[in-house]
């Protein structure tokens, strides 16, 4: 592993300093960095760039095994590295489902083989994601994969008794259940548009906010009853956010994430029936978008998570109601959040690092990620250019799929270099060879 001297980077957007990386850790910061650097050290000129801890994504769909036509762990790792991520949590809704220790270890090994990002398996809460019988939670945690986050994402753990048992089980080892909050009796599997005037006019099955808020409220009470941790995946409504805020005020161990697309895109985009905008939960009206932005800024929402959901063309090119749910997010997450909240002064770059690195790592229990940029800390880092203007081109994506809602849009802010344990994994949008 070669040494690396990063010169002139603004740490967390503040004062510029040199950073020496040696043997995968930060060896020195500031005046000592250059003096301690060995002769012939690789130098990375970071003048005008900002150094942040590497991003951590709590919510990534990598599709392998089972749908390698849409994404593989290798291609998803390339997209993640290009997007500034040093760790991603791979969701369990693969085929077969990640509901056993062996399945979790297979995902871990494929991620290590790709070598560009730490791929952390998420275990299913229930066998086959069917919602009835608990999966091998303890065995997955005791495996080499050390699974600590469990989710049936894409499906809600609707049975309160099953959810209670899951929370009780993971409490023993400090795990967390990440819930897809969608009451199936209020928003069924076909629900694909925010319930309101637009869903009625378009003739699309409605997804009311109460379907989200009701599950969050129930899970908050279960978390309090069990003394366990629950995480709200992709909160999307003001009503759901209000419940999260209440739960936190009560001291309940609840955390929440929001996606870039729920922050920046509105339900009016569905008027053209373009399936690229079909996600679950659906895009919401302006008032919900603003509530989510406010919730992220005031700390009610802990993290930004991409819900990166690649799909092959033949799964998206259908009538809207029949198309697959989901959109790409790994390569554009930083640009969207920076463009939306940092350029207007609502959020600092240090604040962005908190919600895209520090908090996600803490929630997932990833001790080597989201760390301060200081001597002795793991060198999982990202350099970003806050002034760069980038026009998103879906054909340039490193994902196998092309279902990005940002195609043709210009974003201010770009990832320049991603560093995993001292090794450069991506530079100026291009991942390092695996």
DSSP letter for each residue of 398-428:
SSS----TTTT-EEEEEEEEEEETTEEEEET
Cβ atoms 259, 280 nearer than 8 A: no
How do beta strands 149-150 and 176-179 pair? parallel
CA distance 237 to 240: 5
Determine if the peptide bond prior to 71 is cis (ω within 30°): no
Helix (H, G, I), strand (E, B) or coil at 359: helix
CA distance 95 to 103: 10
Measured between its terminal Cα atoms, the distance across the chain in Å is 15
In sequence order, which residues have a C-beta less than 8 Å from that of residue 17 and are 6 or more positions away? 9, 10, 11, 29, 30, 33
- For residue 221, with 0-12 CB atoms within 10 Å meaning exposed, 13-18 middle and 19 or more buried, which class applies? middle
Q: Is the CA virtual torsion 426, 427, 430, 434 positive or negative?
A: negative
For 57, 87, 188, 361, 417, the CA distances from 54, given in Å and listed in that order, are: 10, 8, 37, 10, 10
How do beta strands 381-391 and 303-304 pair? unpaired
Matching residue, tokens 């609707």: 158
* Residue 294 burial (CB count, 10 A): 14
Cβ atoms 26, 427 nearer than 8 A: no
Q: Which of 123, 189, 210, 129 is nearest to 162 (CA)?
A: 129
In sequence order, which residues have a C-beta less than 8 Å from that of residue 77 and are 6 or more positions away? 88, 111, 114, 115, 116, 117, 119, 431, 434
Determine if the peptide bond prior to 65 is cis (ω within 30°): yes
Q: Is 298 an annotated catalytic residue?
A: no
Please identify which of the residues 118, 152, 153, 307 carries the catalytic annotation: 307
Q: Which residues participate in catalysis according to the annotation?
A: 307
């Amino acid at each position: 592993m070669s040494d690396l001297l990063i010169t002139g980077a603004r740490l967390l957007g503040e004062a510029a300093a040199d950073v020496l990386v040696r043997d995968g850790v930060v060896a020195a910061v500031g005046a000592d960095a250059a003096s301690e650097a060995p002769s012939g050290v690789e130098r990375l000129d970071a003048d005008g760039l900002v150094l942040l801890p590497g991003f951590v994504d709590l919510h990534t769909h990598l599709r392998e095994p089972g749908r390698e036509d849409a994404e593989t762990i290798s291609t998803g790792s390339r997209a993640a590295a290009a997007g500034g991520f040093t760790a991603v949590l791979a969701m369990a809704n693969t085929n077969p489902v990640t509901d056993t220790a062996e399945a979790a270890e297979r995902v871990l090994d494929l991620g290590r083989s790709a070598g560009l990002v730490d791929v952390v398996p998420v275990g299913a809460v229930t066998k086959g994601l069917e919602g009835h019988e608990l999966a091998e939670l303890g065995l997955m945690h005791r495996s080499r994969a050390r699974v600590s986050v469990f989710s049936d994402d894409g499906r809600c753990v609707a049975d309160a008794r099953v959810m209670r048992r899951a929370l009780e089980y993971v409490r023993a080892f400090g795990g967390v259940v990440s819930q897809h909050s969608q009451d199936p009796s209020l928003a069924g599997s076909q629900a694909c548009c925010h319930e309101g005037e637009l869903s009625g006019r378009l003739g699309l099955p409605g997804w009311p906010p109460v379907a989200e808020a009701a599950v969050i409220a129930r899970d908050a009470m279960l978390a309090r009853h069990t003394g366990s941790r629950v995480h709200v995946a992709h909160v999307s409504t003001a009503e759901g956010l209000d419940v999260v805020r209440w739960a936190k005020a009560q001291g309940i161990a609840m955390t929440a994430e929001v996606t870039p697309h729920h922050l920046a895109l509105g339900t009016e985009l569905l008027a053209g029936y373009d399936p690229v905008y079909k996600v679950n939960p659906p895009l919401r009206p302006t008032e919900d978008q603003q509530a989510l932005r406010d919730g992220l800024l005031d700390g009610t929402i802990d993290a930004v998570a991409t819900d990166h959901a690649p799909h092959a063309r033949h799964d998206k090119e259908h009538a809207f109601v029949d198309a697959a749910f989901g959109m790409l997010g790994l390569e554009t997450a930083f640009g969207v959040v920076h463009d939306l909240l940092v350029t207007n002064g609502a959020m600092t770059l240090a604040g962005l690092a908190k919600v895209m690195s520090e908090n996600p790592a803490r929630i997932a229990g990833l001790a080597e990620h989201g760390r301060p940029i200081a001597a002795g800390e793991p060198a999982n880092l990202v350099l970003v250019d806050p002034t760069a203007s980038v026009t998103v081109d879906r054909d340039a994506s490193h994902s196998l799929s092309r279902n990005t809602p940002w195609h043709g849009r210009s974003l201010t802010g770009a990832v320049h270099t991603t560093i995993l344990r001292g090794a450069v994994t991506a530079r100026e949008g291009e991942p390092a060879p695996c």
